[in-house]
Structure 1
């Protein structure tokens, strides 16, 4: 029963809903796969792990493989030397004489054991060097693709779910590499020890398998239980992780406290914690029963192995010395077989998520921005000819066919109510999205045939939700672009938006880290962040400058300065301003009014207010506030 914090007798809040998570293609794979199927798929998992590790550091992969083989050879030599030593130790009349005779063999066994251990240590060192590289490679590949997919990819059904599943796969890549090392080492050790046992007596190998297989099966069943718990709680853990950021970030701290949201949100978070915790606790008794049964059955067969050894010795079919060697070999083989089964099951588990990762990379790769090779210059004219856009699975287009021309030197205002299609039109103008019908041309270049990066080099965009990048003030303006004139252009852009004095007063000026949540960081106000976003766009000296609600958080002085600068810079570019503050559109050369995805009106401020249409109505409402 979820615990909650609250006043005695207070009504109980409704619990947060159970959310489904559909991004995994293998939600029942651990439960539905037999041990034989699992063993059959392990080579594929090993191959995938090998290819990923080989792509990041071939030298370390080769080191691990060579050391695994050397470790196995060391085990085999050690067991063979122990077998040679057992005869003198058990057969000599005087212990001292037996020890002297067995000395060379024991020395070889010790050296082989040391060499095998040394090889294992080096393999572990190489794996520790591989792991962070594998983790970074998996993460970078995914982040790079997500930054390059078409924006329409995010509208594809299931894309976000698959992305979340792939994130899990990227995280599991390191576990898979570690498990592969442990499993292959166990396999090499098993082959070495089993070979010695088979030479001593074939019966011993069969009895050994019977003694360790129950524990292995118990490990597989436990892995299935763990997977079932993980699968059942993945939604709660994901939503809990998301909510945790909202509860602890300073960005929302004011709203959380002033609106007394803490009691309910604490209850909500506690409920998610209880769901995750409860499913894990419910599985604990099942784990206990499985492991107890497996250990008991294994114990019965282990006693059988000891009995077999005793029977062989009593019947003179095996000497006491060889029986001692068999004991050492069986212990080694038993540990190795346990490792193979345990890490093999874990590898299969992790490989399911890595498969999700590779599937997603393949799909995201298909959705990356690949259009054409044309490289347009900064546009003197942008023409939309019957350009429309519809989102997948939506019956109504976000933007009906639009024919429109924007020219260099113009300041155009785009207005309309929420959902009118303004953001969609902006995406088409900038080439962020291609129209699903019609065309968009920059001068004579159809954007469907243009290299997207070449188009975006001429765009300066200030979106409604601009990035508060955790970078220095300088990089928040130039975003790391080459500074051919030192910081002169950075300061010029800051001055254009009225941020130069603010930056000079920061503790380290342009070098100040703008992230209060990081050590040594500094925070700006909402309006200052908007000014900085405008400076970032102006620094680029773009051919197309688009500002979407650029002054919503600015004071009157800052807002006046931004629009004055826009007017002064207009001659060298096409400027489009999206705003709900209709007083600001007086400075525009032309106003375009969108309504339900279509252009409803177009003209100057005076023409539209005199026409008495939608714009006049919206403007009158804005004056009544």
Structure 2
């Protein structure tokens, strides 16, 4: 990301900063307006107390000097001002503790709010976006520090309020010394600000450029540390090779950070030296005027304090602007991500079991062509296909032939590039995601292994019946998973998977749980994509016998490479290169002696040899 060096770009950055600061303040106010008001009040009180303490310090010194010169004068005045300063210090301490408490509470509530917004956005965009690297990068950038940056930006805005009030008060205190004193405060604070602002821009640009490499880094960590991949890492001896790739990325990060840190150190030292020379020149002037009797010792202490603290306060104010700019760069990522158009409403599973009463649907694909985003070839080409109500259709072909792509179009995960997908004469493109998916029960070959209880793993297939013991039990029985559940220590309430200390299952057992999830949804269309790939032949035969019994009043689509299963279908469609090359019954296709017959004979020969 280029630094905004042109005047127009700088004006745009300032405009965006103020706009995002207002939006972020509104977000924080929405989360907890009372805590935000408390923080604002605390900043104002803190600023006034700083100015007050500087002035009270002058009164204490002048009272002491007066009492020392005239023993007849009591020290009561000095003690009074000491008491006033003590009261201010105690009040500041109380306000600081209230601020700390409010910050902790608000940070927690705001973190939940922002992360919920991100998760809601993820739920309202289409599946296709999750296969778009640019979208995934945008989401990764939004999620990075999402729980802290909004409050950080608000804190910078509140710090500017506090510093602004303090500086106005300090300016009033030193104006009697001359306007040059105010200019010294400004002149000594600007150089460090320029150094920090430059560093903030370069740091953000570096982090933004790292997004893809960061994702690779996290992926390598996962490959080296998660159960799904660590077996092959050990068996193939990949650990050292993967660590080297991980180390190479980290070393690249290290080199970038060293370069930026070195540049920042040089700029900060040079500009800081200029600021120090100006400040100590002012100190010398004040010291000379005090010696000449032009100002009192109390005034000298006041001016020195205000010049020193004024410089620090203005530096802090400018630093807050620089940090606010950096925070705003991250908030830009967040707001840009939240601004991605919702192209898919969140699903609603509150439909009735009577959905089946309308009977199995008719499915039709009319001249459907589909190309994946970013691809230069069609995954499906000119597909015309009708699936009659109640029919079981098997899709066969090589991997990558287009079978799963067709399923994704049918269930609405993708929209055709051209052509139509119709269910009961209704174009899927005109239906809401919830309306379409309530009609469909599906299990993909890469099904989810939710690290939830067995009940939840099945029940999420139809959330309204998740607590319905009879419905969950029936789905488990339909999938032939009853024995699996019976053997679990806590039955359906047993946590599954090792992520949180639950019971892990074999691949075939997980597949039965996923089947139960698909059967849980009393839908009119049943889609099974390699539903028995992890099962032995006997278990597969049992499942498909159950499937034949359960498919009444449903239209079914089946993808499998096992021809013992395929032949149970009413009709078989053969895909090759994204096109339909054959279709018919098992007997018809064998008689044709085409592509299907060759695949069948090859598999049969493997069993006969």
- Provide TM-score, normalisation by structure 2: 0.89
Alpha-carbon distance in structure 2 between the residues aligned to 1:426 and 1:277:
46
Equivalent residue for 1:126? 102
- State the shift of 1:234 in Å: 4.7
Q: Is the 8 A contact 2:445 2:530 kept in 1?
A: yes
Equivalent residue for 1:88? 63
Alpha-carbon distance in structure 1 between the residues aligned to 2:560 and 2:602:
15
Alpha-carbon distance in structure 2 between the residues aligned to 1:356 and 1:622:
53
Equivalent residue for 2:567? 586
Equivalent residue for 1:299? 276
Equivalent residue for 2:477? 495
Q: 1:136 aligns with which of 112, 116, 122?
A: 112
Q: Is the 8 A contact 2:193 2:322 kept in 1?
A: no
State the SS of the aligned residue for 1:82.
helix
- 1:389-411 per-residue CA deviation (whole Å, 9 max, x = no partner) reads 33345454322233322234322
Q: Equivalent residues in 2 for 1:299-338 (5 A)?
A: 299-314=276-291, 316-338=293-315
Q: Is the 8 A contact 1:86 1:325 kept in 2?
A: no
Equivalent residue for 1:352? 329
Alpha-carbon distance in structure 1 between the residues aligned to 2:345 and 2:188:
57
Say yes or no: does 1:400 pair with 2:376: no
Equivalent residue for 2:511? 530
Equivalent residue for 2:524? 543
- State the shift of 1:568 in Å: 0.4
Alpha-carbon distance in structure 2 between the residues aligned to 1:430 and 1:96:
96
- 1:157-204 per-residue CA deviation (whole Å, 9 max, x = no partner) reads 733333333333635435434444444433443333333333564332
Change (3 A) 1:482 1:95: farther
Alpha-carbon distance in structure 2 between the residues aligned to 1:512 and 1:254:
25
- State the shift of 1:84 in Å: 3.6
- State the shift of 1:573 in Å: 1.0
Alpha-carbon distance in structure 2 between the residues aligned to 1:353 and 1:488:
49
Equivalent residue for 2:601? 620
Equivalent residue for 1:278? 255
Alpha-carbon distance in structure 2 between the residues aligned to 1:395 and 1:231:
28
- Provide TM-score, normalisation by structure 1: 0.87
State the SS of the aligned residue for 1:572.
coil
Q: Is the 8 A contact 2:392 2:570 kept in 1?
A: yes
Say yes or no: does 1:481 pair with 2:463: yes
Which region of structure 1 is more displaced relative to structure 2, 246-255 or 284-293? 284-293
Q: 2:30 aligns with which of 48, 55, 78?
A: 55
Which region of structure 1 is more displaced relative to structure 2, 524-533 or 383-392? 383-392
Q: Is the 8 A contact 2:141 2:211 kept in 1?
A: no
Alpha-carbon distance in structure 1 between the residues aligned to 2:297 and 2:11:
37
Q: Equivalent residues in 2 for 1:234-273 (5 A)?
A: 234-273=211-250
State the SS of the aligned residue for 1:57.
helix
CA RMSD of aligned residues (A): 2.9
**Structure 1 unaligned spans of 5+:** 1-26
- State the shift of 1:622 in Å: 2.2
**Structure 2 unaligned spans of 5+:** none
Alpha-carbon distance in structure 2 between the residues aligned to 1:72 and 1:506:
63
Q: 1:69 aligns with which of 35, 44, 54?
A: 44
- State the shift of 1:261 in Å: 1.3
Which region of structure 1 is more displaced relative to structure 2, 113-122 or 457-466? 113-122
Alpha-carbon distance in structure 2 between the residues aligned to 1:601 and 1:329:
88
Change (3 A) 1:380 1:235: closer
Q: 2:586 aligns with which of 605, 611, 615?
A: 605
Which region of structure 1 is more displaced relative to structure 2, 178-187 or 396-405? 178-187
